[in-house]
């Protein structure tokens, strides 16, 4: 599975990405997780399964959905509590649930 987190600058989600990767490794889940700025989304769509949008840029949800959902990519806003507490396991669970 390939997951992309989108935020305003691509940096605020870096710690969350690390926690998500750690959780995936602990559970032996094969996944590629990256974070980018919204402006870089178009350059990172190859083989993508899930786009998770940072709560601070949730206003971009409609625009992102209209762009990526026709390509078969699932989209959702990251749970605000899980984001704020850097609960990588919960955000990973959110992405997995989207693909089932």
Distance (Å, rounded) from C-alpha 51 to C-alpha 91? 11
Where in the sequence numbering do the catalytic residues fall? 7
Nearest C-alpha neighbor of 75 from the set 1, 20, 4: 4
Strands 32-37 and 74-77, bridge-based pairing: unpaired
Q: What CA–CA distances, in Å, run from 41 to 5, 62, 100?
A: 9, 14, 23
């Amino acid at each position: 599975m390939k997951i992309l987190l989108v935020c305003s600058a691509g940096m605020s989600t870096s710690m969350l990405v690390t926690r998500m990767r750690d959780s995936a490794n602990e559970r032996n889940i094969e996944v590629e997780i990256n974070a980018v700025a919204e402006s870089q989304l178009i350059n990172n769509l190859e083989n993508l399964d899930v786009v998770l949008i940072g709560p601070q840029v949730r206003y971009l949800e409609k625009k992102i959905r209209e762009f990526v959902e026709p390509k078969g990519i699932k989209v959702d806003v990251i749970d605000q509590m899980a984001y704020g507490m850097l609960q990588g396991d919960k955000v990973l669970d959110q992405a997995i649930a989207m693909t089932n």
